[in-house]
Structures are given as structure tokens and as C-alpha cells.
A and B are shown apart, each in its own frame.
Chain A
Amino acid sequence: KQEVTQIPAALSVPEGENLVLNCSFTDSAIYNLQWFRQDPGKGLTSLLLIQSSQREQTSGRLNASLDKSSGRSTLYIAASQPGDSATYLCAVLMNRDDKIIFGKGTRLHILP
């Protein structure tokens, strides 16, 4: 059974720092991996989607990488800002049964 783990569960960093969020998965038979942002009490906003054949995707200050064989993805945030404070979730879409499995998220706090 696929398990998606995100480490750390929470992270506080000073404004301006570069940071990396981690996502690991136990079953490499994924179709894609998607990173989301969730603000408190709100829905999820898609940040980046990486197909299984891709290695990375970039959008502005965000860069997501995927190493399917080792079951890892990272979300790199450059020059962090207080507005980046949110919970970040990763999710994988499985080849086998089309289920989508989420990690529990990393709660990020950027200190002004």
C-alpha cells in the first residue's frame, strides 16, 4: 500500500532563506506527483505537477524535483517571504488503480 510521508511536519525559517520541503513515497508506480499549498481553513491550490517521466518543474520561486526510483520529491522555495506561510502537501496519482494519496503536509512559518 502506498504511503506518502512529508518531513518535517513543521518548519519555521527567517524571511529571505531558501528552504527545501521533502516528500517520500513507498511505491514508485506513480503517474504523477503534485505539490499543493493550503492556507488555514481554505481549499488546496495547486503549485506544481510533475509527470513520472519528468525530473523537475519550476514556477517562479518554486522548484519541484522528482526521483521516482528512490521515491522522493523535493519542493525548493527560494527567497522565502511571510506570504509563503502555509501548509504544503504532496500527492501522488497511482498507475495501478488511479487512487490519489496525500502526505500529511509540512506546516511552514516564515518569520518576518
Chain B
Amino acid sequence: EAQVTQNPRYLITVTGKKLTVTCSQNMNHEYMSWYRQDPGLGLRQIYYSMNVEVTDKGDVPEGYKVSRKEKRNFPLILESPSPNQTSLYFCASTSGRLAGNNEQFFGPGTRLTVL
């Protein structure tokens, strides 16, 4: 089954404690991205990656890091989380602009609370 998986689904942590949210897709997609969703602000793109070892900043990259060492995985790293990073995070993948049908597939979301 084609899918995007994220782990963990729920996480409560404290300020400053490094964390990683994993994202994996099994569709051989080139393009992967991370979003955060906040009430009144909608979905905002944090980082995206058009292929292995290629990453770019989205609209709200501050406080986040990503890596793309393998095509299927795109982890989101918060080196020193702060309360304003409390949010609902989504990972998504798509075949990308260069490959025809570009339907985005979303993971189930990770609800992060930073105390």
C-alpha cells in the first residue's frame, strides 16, 4: 500500500531537548516536504527536498533542520525545541514537478507539544 508514515504520532517534550520526527514513503517519490499546521495560520511549508542530498527552505524554516540521505526518508530535526514549535506536523511526498502527475500524499501527522 502506498503510504507516508511518520513517527512518533504524539510527542510531549521540554524546551531544549533535541528531537527527531521521522518520515518515510514507499512510493519512490523524489519530492518530500514538511509542514506545520497552526490554528488561524493554516499549513506552512518548513523544508522541502527535491531529491537525495537536495533540501531547500520553505516559508518557516527557523528552528528546524532536515536531511535527505536516502530517497525514502526525510527526518525533521528540532535541535533545541521551544514552546512556539508546539504544532501539528505533516510530512508529504510527491513525484515532483519534473515527473508528471504530482499528487501529494500526506502522512497522518505528528502532534508535538513543547513545554
Interface residues of A (CB under 8 A from B): 31-32, 34, 36, 41-46, 49, 89, 91, 93, 95, 97-105
Contact = CB atoms under 8 A, between A and B. Distances in A.
A100 B50 CA distance: 12
A42 B102 contact: no
B42 A34 contact: no
Interface of B: 31, 33, 35, 40-45, 48, 50, 56, 58-59, 90, 92, 96-97, 101-109
A103 B105 contact: no
Contact of B42 (A31, A93, A97, A102): A102
Contacts of B48: 98-100
Contacts of A36: 104, 106
Task: Please report whether the interface of chain A is mostly helix, strand, loop or mixed according to DSSP.
Answer: strand
B60 to A, nearest CB: 11
A91 B56 contact: no
A100 B90 contact: no
A103 B103 contact: no
A97 B48 CA distance: 11
A8 B5 CA distance: 32
Contact of B97 (A43, A46, A93, A101): A93
B19 to A, nearest CB: 20
Contacts of A102: 35, 42-45
Most buried by B among A91, A95, A100: A100
Contacts of A41: 109
Contacts of B42: 89, 102-105
24 contacts: A31-B102, A34-B102, A42-B109, A43-B106, A43-B108, A44-B104, A44-B106, A46-B103, A46-B104, A49-B102, A89-B43, A97-B56, A98-B31, A98-B48, A98-B96, A98-B97, A99-B56, A100-B33, A100-B104, A101-B45, A101-B59, A102-B45, A103-B42, A104-B42
B36 to A, nearest CB: 11
A61 B44 CA distance: 29
A45 B108 CA distance: 10
Contact of A99 (B43, B45, B96, B101): B45
